[in-house]
């Protein structure tokens, strides 16, 4: 065949593939990389560098009827980002990350700044610190986009302070399903705002946010070890609510808790510049942990050993002094707010997942008024596993089972919203049960006794008025969890969604499960 017609044939095949959408589809992965899809099949990923570019891609997608999802850093856990449509395109926001319009008057209590979709907590924190400012407590983790966190209702742990990321948003520019930029202002009497505040990315791409900021400040971090009984039968609200931010880590095999809390200190109290690290490891540490955890796929004793070692390590401050990167060995630790509350990676270390250590998780929120009942129910679940099956379950995660808290915050789909049809009292805030576990590389890749976890989640969802975290659960858990989401909130959200995205451009599997496209 002459080469000209070969080329024509190639073009024909390429357009046929585009039309039928299968030939070139590939998975779009989470932060965990290959084998961990956020979307099972997508057609293209666009690393956009401006909001204008986002708008033109969306307009093109509207014309062609192509599904679109925005993505920040892929810091989510399961394949619930997109819909199962191989024509889907991803607008990757990482490289659209300008910060502008900084405003914080001397002596003012708060100010604001404008950030583009790809700005991460780490990036904004550094920028603000250089300008003697901070984002207060409305932060989550370091290498995550703030727009992605706001979209999915992500939150830190506090009962006293607003610490959901959306609580810091003053307004959002959303590229709707017609490719138009709509500015939604914070206004609790507006349905548009109450939907945008936890939008699940369904109203469109959050392209920019105006974010509330504060003067820079320092904090302390303190940690105590408690016996399990002191928490299960204790005044949980009273242990958490007094502090700016506080949480528990549960060590179920050892029957102990760590109680971590933070609060502001005067700028002059200490010169220490503590910097926290939750996820990075040296090669040596990673190698040792991996050996034990991989064998824990088969041996409960390895998991018991792992929990014991992790508990010992986690009892010490996971902080270094930022000025010389020396270990800090005594509590309390002091430093600048972001460094102490979040921190990040240490020089020359990599996060666990880049060492090939992966996890699975589940996270569910309960009214804090039911905190003791919930934790006791989980304890019974562990005990029954031993009584009924002779299986000892442990925590196989570096920092134990993560127990977080959230102040009540009103919107339609937030985890800490209140006045819901379940009649439960969410007004005092929520307790979140976040149970990560090691996912082995060996064998079938499933954790030790893998069906324990979904069984636990379903039991809790069946017995408590609890709500799933929007990026930390499987499709199966969302299907179970839907019954606990207020149908009136879902209906109100759906009405706003249909207005913003009449052509269903931004649909996701999660939203389909929640019945938002019926």
Ligand X SMILES: Cc1cc2nc3c(=O)[nH]c(=O)nc-3n(C[C@H](O)[C@H](O)[C@H](O)COP(=O)(O)OP(=O)(O)OC[C@H]3O[C@@H](n4cnc5c(N)ncnc54)[C@H](O)[C@@H]3O)c2cc1C
56 binds ligand NAG (CB under 6 A): no
The footprint of ligand X on this chain (CB under 6 A) covers a number of residues equal to: 29
Residue 81 partner contact from ligand NAG, ligand X, none using kind-dependent CB cut-offs of 5 to 8 Å: ligand X
Q: State how far Cα 64 lies from the chain centre.
A: 32
| Interacting residues with ligand NAG between 131 and 150 (CB under 6 A) | 143
Q: Exactly one of 145, 198, 303, 395 binds ligand X (CB under 6 A); which one?
A: 145
Copy the structure tokens of residue 154.
Answer: 């992500």
30 Cβ partners below 8 Å, 6+ apart? 36, 37, 38, 74, 75, 76, 77, 78
* Shortest distance (Å) from residue 92 CB to ligand NAG: 6
Among ligand NAG, ligand X, none, what binds residue 47 when CB lies within 5 to 8 Å by partner kind? ligand NAG
Cα end-to-end distance, the chain, whole Å: 51
| Contacted entry of ligand NAG, ligand X, none for residue 140, CB cut-off 5 to 8 Å set by kind | ligand X
Residue whose CB is less far from ligand NAG, 143 or 272 = 143
Give CA 44 to chain center in angstroms.
24
Instruction: Tell the smallest beta-carbon distance from residue 417 to ligand NAG (Å).
Output: 9
Spatial distance between the Cα atoms of 327 and 337, rounded to a whole number of angstroms: 18
Is 50 one of the binding residues for ligand NAG (CB under 6 A)?
no
Q: Based on the number of CB atoms within 10 Å of its own CB, is 149 exposed (0-12), middle (13-18) or buried (19 or more)? A: buried
Which residues does 284 contact at the CB level (< 8 Å), separation at least 6?
A: none
> If we measure between CA atoms, which residue out of 152, 127, 186 comes closest to residue 508?
152
User: Interface with ligand X includes 474 (CB under 6 A)?
Assistant: no
State which of residues 67, 74, 429, 447 lies at the interface with ligand X (CB under 6 A): 74
Query: Which 270-289 positions form the footprint of ligand NAG (CB under 6 A)?
Result: none
Alpha carbons 157 and 160: distance in angstroms, whole number: 9
User: What token pair was written down for 486?
Assistant: 């207020």
Long-range residue pairs from 232-238, CB within 8 A, at least 24 positions apart, any chain: 232/372, 232/375, 232/376, 232/379, 233/372, 234/372, 236/368, 236/371, 236/372, 236/375, 236/431, 237/159, 237/368, 237/371, 237/428
Q: Is 85 exposed, middle or buried (0-12, 13-18, 19+ CB in 10 A)?
A: middle
Q: What DSSP string describes 332-381?
A: SEEEEHHHHHT--PPTT-EEGGGGT-EEE--EEEEEGGGHHHHHHHHHHH
Q: Could you tell me which stretch among 69-77, 287-295, 318-326, 330-338 binds ligand X (CB under 6 A)?
A: 69-77
Of the candidate residues 301, 419, 421, 503, the single one contacting ligand NAG (CB under 6 A): 419
Q: Give which of ligand X, ligand NAG, none residue 345 binds (C-beta under 5 to 8 Å, depending on kind).
A: ligand NAG
State yes or no: residue 148 binds ligand X (CB under 6 A): yes
Closest CA to 236 of 37, 432, 515, 103: 432
Contact (CB, 8 A) for 507 and 196:
no
Does residue 517 interact with ligand NAG by CB under 6 A?
A: no
Nearer to ligand X, 145 or 197 (CB): 145
Residues 6 or more apart whose Cβ sits within 8 Å of residue 492: 191, 194, 195, 412
The residue from 89, 159, 194, 205 that contacts ligand X (CB under 6 A) is: 205
> Going residue by residue from 82 to 101, which x/- string records binding to ligand X, judged by CB under 6 A?
-----------x--------
Determine which residue in the list 45, 170, 181, 391 makes contact with ligand NAG, applying CB under 6 A: 45
Of the residues 72, 335, 400, 481, which one makes contact with ligand X according to CB under 6 A: 72
The rounded distance, in Å, linking the Cα atoms of 340 and 83 is 38
Helix, strand, coil percent content, the chain, rounded in steps of 5? 35, 25, 40
- Contact residue for ligand NAG among 15, 24, 47, 56 (CB under 6 A): 47
**70 touches which of ligand X, ligand NAG, none (CB within 5 to 8 A by kind)?**
ligand X
Shortest separation between residue 344's beta carbon and ligand NAG, angstroms: 6
List the single partner that 75 binds among ligand X, ligand NAG, none, CB under 5 to 8 Å by kind.
ligand X
Residue 301 interacts with ligand NAG (CB under 6 A): yes or no: no
Asked if 370 touches ligand X (CB under 6 A), the answer is: no
Residue 274, SS3 per DSSP: strand
Q: Can you tell me whether residue 306 is helix, strand or coil?
A: helix
Does position 345 bind ligand NAG by CB under 6 A?
Answer: yes
- Binders of ligand NAG in range 397-416 (CB under 6 A): 410
Between 31 and 517, whose beta carbon lies closer to ligand X? 31
- Total residues at the site for ligand NAG (CB under 6 A)? 9
Which residues make up the interface to ligand X (CB under 6 A)? 31, 69-76, 81, 93, 117, 140-141, 144-145, 147-149, 151-152, 154-155, 201, 205-206, 279, 471, 508
Question: Which residues contact ligand NAG by CB under 6 A?
Answer: 45, 47, 73, 92, 143, 344-345, 410, 419
């Amino acid at each position: 065949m002459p080469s000209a017609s070969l080329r024509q044939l190639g073009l024909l095949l390429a357009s046929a593939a585009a039309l039928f959408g299968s030939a070139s589809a590939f998975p779009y992965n989470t932060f965990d990389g290959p084998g961990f899809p956020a979307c099972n099949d997508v057609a293209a990923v666009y690393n956009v560098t401006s909001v204008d570019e986002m708008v033109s891609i969306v307009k093109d997608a509207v014309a062609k009827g192509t599904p679109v999802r925005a993505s920040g850093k892929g810091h989510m856990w399961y394949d619930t980002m997109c819909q199962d449509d191989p024509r889907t395109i991803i607008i990757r926001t990482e490289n659209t990350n300008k910060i502008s319009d900084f405003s914080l008057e001397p002596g003012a209590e708060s100010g604001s700044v404008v950030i583009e979709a790809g700005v991460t907590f780490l990036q904004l924190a550094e920028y603000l610190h250089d300008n003697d400012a901070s984002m207060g407590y409305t932060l989550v983790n370091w290498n995550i986009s703030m727009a992605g966190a706001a979209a999915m209702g992500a939150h830190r742990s506090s009962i006293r302070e607003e610490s959901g990321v959306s609580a810091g948003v003053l307004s959002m520019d959303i590229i709707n399903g017609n490719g138009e930029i709509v500015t939604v202002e914070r206004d609790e009497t507006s349905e548009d705002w109450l939907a945008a505040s936890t939008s699940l990315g369904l109203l469109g791409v959050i392209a920019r946010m105006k974010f509330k900021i504060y003067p820079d400040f320092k904090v302390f971090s303190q940690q105590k070890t408690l016996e399990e009984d002191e928490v299960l039968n204790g005044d949980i609200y009273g242990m958490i609510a007094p502090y700016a931010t506080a949480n528990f880590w549960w060590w179920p095999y050892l029957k102990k808790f760590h109680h971590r809390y933070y609060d502001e200190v005067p700028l002059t109290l200490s010169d220490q510049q503590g910097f926290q690290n939750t996820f990075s490891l040296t090669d040596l540490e990673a190698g040792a942990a991996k050996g034990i955890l991989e064998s824990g796929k088969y041996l409960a004793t390895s998991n018991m050993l792992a929990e014991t070692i992790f508990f010992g390590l986690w009892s010490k401050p996971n902080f270094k002094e930022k000025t010389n990167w020396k270990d800090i060995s005594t509590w309390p630790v002091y430093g600048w707010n972001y460094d102490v509350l979040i921190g990040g990676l240490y020089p020359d270390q990599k996060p666990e997942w880049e060492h090939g250590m992966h996890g699975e998780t589940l996270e569910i929120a309960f009214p804090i008024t039911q905190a003791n009942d919930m934790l006791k129910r989980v304890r019974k679940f562990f005990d029954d596993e031993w009584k009924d099956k002779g299986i000892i379950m442990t925590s196989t995660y570096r920092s134990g089972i993560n127990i977080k808290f959230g102040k009540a915050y009103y919107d339609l789909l937030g985890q800490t919203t209140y006045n819901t049809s379940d009649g439960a009292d969410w007004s005092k805030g929520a307790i979140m049960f976040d149970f990560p576990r090691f996912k082995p590389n060996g064998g079938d890749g499933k954790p030790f006794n893998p069906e324990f976890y979904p069984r636990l989640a379903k039991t809790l969802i069946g017995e408590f008025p609890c709500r799933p975290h929007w990026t930390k659960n499987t499709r199966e858990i969302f299907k179970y969890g839907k019954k606990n989401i207020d149908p009136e909130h879902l209906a109100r959200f759906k009405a706003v969604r249909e207005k913003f995205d009449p052509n269903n451009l931004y649909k996701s599997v999660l939203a389909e499960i929640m019945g938002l496209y019926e």
